[in-house]
Structure 1
Amino acid sequence: MSKHVAVYCRVSSRNQQTESQKPDLQRWVDAYAAAQVIWYEDRYTGRTMDRPGWKRLMYEVESGRVSKLVVWRLDRLGRTARGLTALFDEFPRRGVGLVSVKDGLDLDTPAGRLMANVLASVAQYETEIRGERVRAGQSLARKRGKRWGGSDPGRLLYLSRDQVDLIVDLHQRGRSKAAIARACGVSRPTVYRILAQHDSP
């Protein structure tokens, strides 16, 4: 069975582009790829591994058709330490190498595996710190009497987990902010706030 090099690009939403990642990845391909190269792409949050392009890629990995996976940075694979470290264990078992171009990392080496786990922890730390900053800013705003997302003057709108998930899902499907606000019964500033908290490009 012939194997190929898989190149994976990801951004967090349909409004963002993967073009900034592709020149570095193409340079790696031109310099090092000795086998067929297949590109996979997602415009989807890194907080879940349930992404269309990623699922196609993992099907190929599990079928034994991938020799190496190349990404721009490790956080393009995902943004949770648990998800990333699981991949770092699975890829060597399946004989799949992993290269992160911007991180200068190659999972085929002991030093690369150590660095990969450190970077996975850093990615999760950055996500958690970003969330803490958002919550601290909201707390300070409430103390100063600031209101947002309310349909009645002076009323704060607290969203359920289902509402937040629906806002993010509709955004990933390419719906406009105004359409999302109407569908979820919230204001456009609330939609912007939820999307800003949810992930980074």
Structure 2
Amino acid sequence: MPQHIAIYVRVSSKKQDTKSQEPDLKQWVTAFAGGVLVKWYRDQQSGKTMNRPGWNRLEAAVDAGKVSAVVVWRLDRLGRTASGLTALFDKLVTRRINLVSIKDGVDLSTPAGRLIANVLASVAAYENEVRAERIIAGQAVAKAAGKTWGGSVKGRQLKVTDEQIATIRRMQQEGANKTAMARATGLSRPTVYAVLHAYA
């Protein structure tokens, strides 16, 4: 049965494009495909689930024994849950299908590559959880400050960085007053109060 190299490209929404990924992937094909048939699979969908149209077609080809290697720009293009990525790695290794992640320097054909892949899968999952927590925290801060999500201008969200939050909490522990916290972080006093309330 003839096999092909599967090139998988994913962006999270229709507002994004794949221009940042494709040049590196095309260079890889030119340098390493070695005349093997190459097929491109694409998705415009979140990486929170592995149930995506393009990925489902690719996985069906994997299960049918039609794929010799899966190549991605970066591991987080495959997905952002550690459990989903680890299960995928195990499946590919069992079926003797290589996985190459260009930006991460991952190659599942080597023990070191498999180790790195699993570590990066955990990191990707962690970053996704942190991102979700930041969104929730930002919404809580906006609500506590008496603002609707979107801020004073339509489409603009209230932005409080992790560094500002950390500074406020540290200064609170040191007994600093709200005016000093606002001056140190460049935030308004109401926002400082909102941060303290959200993280109380």
**Length-normalised TM-score, structure 1:** 0.73
The residue type equivalent to 1:91 in the other structure is L
Q: Distance in 1 between matches of 2:11 and 2:111?
A: 29
Partner of 1:103: 104
Partner of 1:7: 7
Partner of 1:25: 25
The residue type equivalent to 2:28 in the other structure is W
- Secondary structure at the counterpart of residue 2 of structure 2: coil
The residue type equivalent to 1:14 in the other structure is K
Offset at residue 65 of structure 1 (A): 0.6
Q: Distance in 1 between matches of 2:38 and 2:29?
A: 8
Offset at residue 107 of structure 1 (A): 0.6
Residue 91 of structure 2 corresponds to residue 90 of structure 1: yes
- Secondary structure at the counterpart of residue 99 of structure 1: strand
Partner of 1:143: 144
Partner of 1:132: 133
Partner of 1:175: none
Q: Once the two structures are superposed, what CA deviation does each residue of 1:2-44 show, in whole Å capped at 9, x if it has no partner?
A: 1111100000111211121000001111000121111111111
- Secondary structure at the counterpart of residue 92 of structure 2: helix
- Where in structure 1 are there 5+ consecutive unaligned residues? 150-187, 194-201
Q: Distance in 2 between matches of 1:75 and 1:114?
A: 16
How is 1:29-108 mapped onto 2 (pairs within 5 angstroms)?
29-34=29-34, 35-108=36-109
CA contact (8 A) 2:143 2:149 kept: no
- Secondary structure at the counterpart of residue 15 of structure 2: coil
Q: Distance in 1 between matches of 2:143 and 2:68?
A: 52
Q: Distance in 1 between matches of 2:44 and 2:141?
A: 33
The residue type equivalent to 1:33 in the other structure is A
- Secondary structure at the counterpart of residue 69 of structure 2: strand
**Which has the larger Rg?**
2
Bigger shift: 67-76 or 135-144? 135-144
Aligned-residue RMSD, C-alpha:
1.6
Q: Distance in 2 between matches of 1:132 and 1:54?
A: 27
* Larger RCO (alpha carbons 8 Å, 6+ apart): 1
Q: Distance in 2 between matches of 1:143 and 1:43?
A: 34
Offset at residue 148 of structure 1 (A): 3.6
* Runs of 4+ displaced beyond 2 Å: none
Q: Distance in 2 between matches of 1:64 and 1:48?
A: 23
The residue type equivalent to 2:7 in the other structure is V
Q: Distance in 2 between matches of 1:148 and 1:87?
A: 37
Q: Distance in 2 between matches of 1:13 and 1:94?
A: 31
Offset at residue 94 of structure 1 (A): 1.2
The residue type equivalent to 1:3 in the other structure is Q
Offset at residue 133 of structure 1 (A): 1.3
Q: Distance in 1 between matches of 2:131 and 2:13?
A: 18
- Secondary structure at the counterpart of residue 75 of structure 1: helix
**Length-normalised TM-score, structure 2:** 0.73
- Where in structure 2 are there 5+ consecutive unaligned residues? 158-200
The residue type equivalent to 2:140 in the other structure is S
Aligned length: 153
